[in-house]
Structure 1
Amino acid sequence: MESQVLMDASSSSRGARENKDEDYWRYQPLLKAALRGDWDSAKGFFDQDPDALTAHITDAKQTALHLAISSGRSIEFVEKLVDLMPPEALALRASQGRTALHIAALYGNTKAAVILVEKHPTSLYIRSYDQNQLPLHFAANGGHKDTLLYLLSVTEDDPVSKPFAYPSGALLLYQAVDSEFYGSSARTNPPAEHYIALDLVGRHPELGTSKLVDDKHALKTMARKASAFPSSIRLNRWQRLIYSYVPVENYADQDHNRSDIENPVNSSQVIAQKHSWARILGTNFPNSVSRKLQAMLWKVLELLATRYGIHEVVEEVVESFPQAIWYVDNDGYNIFGLAVIYRCENVFNLIYQMSGHKQDMMFVVDKNWNTMLHLAGRLAPFDKLNLVPGAALQMQRELQWFKEVENLVTPGYKEYQNEGNEFPSMVFTKEHKKLVEEGEKWMKDTANSCTIAAALIATIAFAAVITVPGGTNGTNGVPVFSKANAFIVFIVSDAISLFTSTMSLLMFLSILTSRYAEGDFLYVLPKRLIIGLVTLFMSITTMILAFSSTLYLVFGNNKEWILIPVAALACLPITSFMFLQFPLLVDLISSTYGPGIFGKKSDRFFF
């Protein structure tokens, strides 16, 4: 009897599924029409079956309106469909409790969102089943700024749904920062709502330090956004020049003649201070800060801002909460120790903006008795090494880090042994053994290639002097074209080409026969490579000049116009060398004789 009941129940359930599948198949023409935006076909279906207006036509419980909005094919289709539907039908939910407005926000269909809100404004406050999200959250999480701006303009701080209170507001701020909606738009004098994250914190300061259940908070997310800060943007020289002249809108510098700022209720919440990323996130903390908040701040400094080299966040957090500079993690590292480990010079350079406290910062010893110099002796992370071209220059950068830290620590730390009885120099040698080998191979490969080119040029230049263009006078051996100006150009440029190519050859040979000690990568080897490349470039240029003058002497017949094609063709190899080898030469000169990556970069006081 019991088994029969189970069989009947199973049959009933299977029959229900089959009926449901039958319904979905019945709605296939409507589904296709909604996806295509074919209103005539859909209207004919609705005329025959009015219930189809609100029916779930997919197994995800989507209505025709859900599908039409997500496809984005025809806003006219959406508009006509909404006109036929009763207002309460716009609140119908698909799977995960998503209404049509949720779908419009998710796909960034702003026009559809406007239509839905105008007919059913309460859709703004319906939450989905997944994390109780409003349409606002879907737009922010999907990265649809225009849709989010519209929804923010029509969403009120409803006392029942509380869209901007914790945790809803904290989630919205987190999503806005994660989607990088914290800066200004491209408009002139943008209103405050274009600074989405900044405006949210200005109106609700408590959101800046609110943490979600899964350890997400806006400050931590902002600290991960390296591209949001000038210090982390990799620009070439021309881009930096242009960037320095680009006007940047500043929310704090805007003319605050808005009605909401004039309102005394809101004016106390508006951030009317200079622009800073930490203040965007509400880190103007009171003197008494909870342990939980202290821990959160240290996590921001330790795992994110310091690791990514975002000194702006470090500066603002320390300025707002100075005690954070003394924090150390479980391994005993402070922010400067972490900056050394992760090779973040932007953060490390803050030590030059400090007062006498910088000495204390360098006295740190971790749980394994490693000093700051031991940390500098470690190999840099792979992603940091790859920022420098070539193993030899990578080794040079590592030596620069070690020497810089060595100059800042006390003399006793140079001979300080860690838990493994290793001196800092021993740690450096052990960690960089493979990089030294790679640097030696890179140097030798480069020198070998350039040696061949220099030898060929020297051979050609020497032979050209012996067999001068036009030959010599049979009676006294004087060159036929000795009185021509082009011949003087030939002799001078050929001589320079011979001498510079020989010099280049000697430099590259000295690189090949070098001992390749660690310290050689700091100045000796880069200096030889720089001289070799510069003289090779000079020899190529003068060789081309000598050849061009010869062409003019032999075939020009004093015709000035022939200089134009000759000069144009002569520029090709020189230009090729500039594009192929000149960037390496610039990097070598900059890293060896440039201002360097260390030193005081700002006059702003840091603790």
Structure 2
Amino acid sequence: MATNNQSTEQDTFINPTPLDVDPLYQAARRVSGESAERTLAPTAAIISEDERIRFKYYHQLHLAALKGNWEAAKGYFQDNVPNAFTEEISSTRMNALLVASCNGHTKFVEMLVKRMPEEALQKRGPGGYTALHHAAIGGHLKMAKALIRKNPGLTQITDNSGNTPLLCAVLLFSRHKLVRYLALATTIEKPERPFSGCKAGDLMVNLTHMGFHVPVHDEDDPLGASDQDLVAEKQSQTNEAKTQAYQGVKKVLWRRIKYLVPCISKVGEKKLGHERACKLVHLCLKALFNYNERVRVKYFNEQEILHYAACCGVLEIVTASLHYFPDLIFSKHGSMILKNAIQWRQEKIFNLACKNTALDKMLATQCYKPSISHLAAQLPTNRQLSVDSCAALQMQREVQWYKAIETIQHPRMKQLTSAKGKTAFDFFSENRKQMRENAEKWMKDTSDSCMLVSTLIATVAFAVAFTVPGGINDQGIPIFVNKTSFRIFVYSDALALFSSVTSILMFLSILTSSYKEEDFHRALPERMIIGLASLFVAIATMMVAFGAALVIILSERLKWVWGPLIFLASFPVTLFIMLQLPLFIEMVQSTYGSIFQREKIWKRSGHRDATDPLY
């Protein structure tokens, strides 16, 4: 019982003695001879006796604010302790409001805000953070609302780094609802102007990373509807002459369609997100267009917009930036675009620098020394390699990149050596030794397995050709030669034999290949494609021949045998398609579908209006 009483006494305080009239506090001031207003840096190793007494006096308040225990703290905020709201109660120069907000105690903060004067809410703590900064960083919406209702100017106060609470919330990935609320509460008023300048650029970039430019579904949306519904409603109101009844019917139908066919909603969201992102890019660049050249250059250099856009393959940002500011192509950004595209294997960005104009050739020669072929000889990032499903396709893509880069540089560059006396292709081969071995192993293992299946099919198809169902008569003519099912059996069996033999030859040629780097460009993938296609035809026609043979034998007694046979025969064929078709399609696309298509940097694109400087 004593322990419980002691705990209760420690956590509950009622009307403590005011600090200004506390005998112990006054004695400490007289002994120390120092002013009570003297403060030391938070990082100081020694504090004054006056401060030690003050921190001891407010120690229980500090603990209560850390715990969010209002009952234990409210005694300090009676009329006899007027400075308790603003007094620094910790060595880090934080008052009770800052301590509670930093630890996420919304209820405690709300009780303090009701009793504190408006100006006291602007108190800054370590890093220059106010209580609203703490609420923004922690993602506490109710806390932020309470603070802003009492002092709307808190949204304009910046920390030591010049960040508003809104920017802090975005930088530290707070909740979407809080970010929306702060965005509406923050104004463009001086002196900070959070929606202009370089800080505005940071805000827009991080808002985009958080996904605020794409549709967001939230059942508790404070606006009462999801972004998708709002945008759909706005798009449906383009014609002012439409009646409200028509709008309501259209909205209901759209929601029903999304409910019945969810994939339509996903496609619409993806397209809408892309359109929003493009529009956001143009709005940002349009705003930057009004600044002088020095500010623009500084912004592009500090934010590294073109660098990240080229690395991530965001073609729209690159083309839009060069559309508004064409001179960027003649700066370091021009060669950086091509260099990043090659290093990160972004074919869309690389397509902007084909061998078409003098500008393209200059970019190709200035991009890397001694040549861009040496740059292509370096290994790409693992993230880009993981896009291709197997080692053979990875090797094929690398060879495709190397050959494509060779087409935009002078032939003499092929023999140009580096400081180590090696050509670009020498580096290419050395860097991809392990990759080539992995691709070779994958090709051999796949060919071995597929050739075994093809051999079994060929053996069966060859034997069945001389043991036809139903037998033969005395003249050696098959008994059921005039039946349609027999002709189907003969044709399918012959096709199965020819296809399986073709497949065997293709896989055998793969096994006996020399596996040079150039072989992975076209020769080996083409043989694998033909081999897989022939194997599929062989399996399908073998099942057709088997089904036709059963029909010939059983059709006289079991006339309903057609249906079950067709179903059972289609099952293994369908299973083979499901398992092997993705690989087959990927190899066909990678081999015959060129990823390198010429693009124009300053092409006409969407999202233009009359305010566009180049409209």
Q: Scaled by the length of structure 1, what TM-score is found?
A: 0.68
The answer to whether the 8 Å contact 2:393/2:587 transfers is yes
> Is the alpha carbon distance of 1:133 and 1:245 closer, same or farther for their aligned partners in structure 2, counting shifts above 3 Å?
closer
Work out whether 1:490 is the aligned partner of 2:463.
no
Q: 2:68 & 2:461 partners in 1: Cα distance?
A: 82
Equivalent residue for 2:463? 463
Aligned residue type for 2:348: N
Equivalent positions of 1:85-484 (< 5 A) are 85=115, 88=118, 91=121, 96=126, 101-110=132-141, 113-125=144-156, 127=158, 131=161, 133-141=163-171, 142-159=173-190, 163-164=194-195, 169=200, 172-173=203-204, 175-182=206-213, 185-189=227-231, 246=271, 275=279, 277=281, 280-281=284-285, 284-285=288-289, 289-290=293-294, 293=297, 296-297=300-301, 300=304, 303-328=307-332, 334-352=336-354, 355-364=357-366, 366-367=368-369, 370-469=370-469, 471-473=470-472, 475-476=474-475, 478-479=477-478, 481-484=480-483
Aligned residue type for 2:412: G
The answer to whether the 8 Å contact 1:507/1:528 transfers is yes
Question: What per-residue deviation string (whole Å, max 9, x for no partner) do you get for residues 327-379 of structure 1?
Answer: 348xx955324433332221111124964322333333745xx1233333444
Helix, strand or coil: the match of 1:186?
helix
Question: What per-residue deviation string (whole Å, max 9, x for no partner) do you get for residues 581-603 of structure 1?
Answer: 11111111112122x01122458
Deviation of 1:523 after TM superposition, in Å, equals 1.5
Deviation of 1:322 after TM superposition, in Å, equals 2.9
The answer to whether the 8 Å contact 2:315/2:349 transfers is yes
Moved more, 349-358 or 580-589: 349-358
Aligned residue type for 1:350: L
Q: How many residues align?
A: 513
Q: 1:28 & 1:385 partners in 2: Cα distance?
A: 49
Equivalent residue for 1:598? 596
Aligned residue type for 2:319: E
The answer to whether the 8 Å contact 1:500/1:539 transfers is yes
The answer to whether the 8 Å contact 1:349/1:598 transfers is yes
Decide which structure has the larger Cα Rg and report it: 2
Deviation of 1:522 after TM superposition, in Å, equals 1.6
Deviation of 1:478 after TM superposition, in Å, equals 4.7
Helix, strand or coil: the match of 2:446?
helix
Deviation of 1:527 after TM superposition, in Å, equals 1.2
Q: 2:544 & 2:487 partners in 1: Cα distance?
A: 11
5+ residue gaps, structure 2: 1-31, 33-46, 216-226, 235-262, 605-615
Q: 1:17 & 1:79 partners in 2: Cα distance?
A: 21
> Is the alpha carbon distance of 1:295 and 1:275 closer, same or farther for their aligned partners in structure 2, counting shifts above 3 Å?
closer
Question: What per-residue deviation string (whole Å, max 9, x for no partner) do you get for residues 464-512 of structure 1?
Answer: 334434x425645554544443333333222211211111011101111
> Is the alpha carbon distance of 1:394 and 1:133 closer, same or farther for their aligned partners in structure 2, counting shifts above 3 Å?
closer
Deviation of 1:438 after TM superposition, in Å, equals 2.4
> Is the alpha carbon distance of 1:249 and 1:287 closer, same or farther for their aligned partners in structure 2, counting shifts above 3 Å?
closer
Deviation of 1:532 after TM superposition, in Å, equals 0.3
Q: 2:603 & 2:51 partners in 1: Cα distance?
A: 73
Equivalent residue for 1:534? 533
The answer to whether the 8 Å contact 1:400/1:522 transfers is yes
Helix, strand or coil: the match of 2:380?
coil
The answer to whether the 8 Å contact 2:342/2:376 transfers is yes
Q: 1:78 & 1:295 partners in 2: Cα distance?
A: 42
Aligned residue type for 2:228: A
Q: 1:82 & 1:120 partners in 2: Cα distance?
A: 13
Q: Percent identity?
A: 29
Q: RMSD of aligned C-alpha atoms?
A: 4.9
Q: 2:123 & 2:532 partners in 1: Cα distance?
A: 69
5+ residue gaps, structure 1: 32-41, 193-237, 253-273
The answer to whether the 8 Å contact 1:65/1:78 transfers is no
Equivalent residue for 1:504? 503
Helix, strand or coil: the match of 1:409?
coil
Aligned residue type for 1:154: A
Helix, strand or coil: the match of 1:447?
helix
Q: Scaled by the length of structure 2, what TM-score is found?
A: 0.67
Question: What per-residue deviation string (whole Å, max 9, x for no partner) do you get for residues 280-337 of structure 1?
Answer: 24575479733992694498367423333333333233333333323348xx955324
Equivalent residue for 1:227? none
Helix, strand or coil: the match of 1:363?
helix
Question: What per-residue deviation string (whole Å, max 9, x for no partner) do you get for residues 35-65 of structure 1?
Answer: xxxxxxx8x8899997699799x99977699
Moved more, 577-586 or 501-510: 577-586
> Is the alpha carbon distance of 1:100 and 1:357 closer, same or farther for their aligned partners in structure 2, counting shifts above 3 Å?
closer
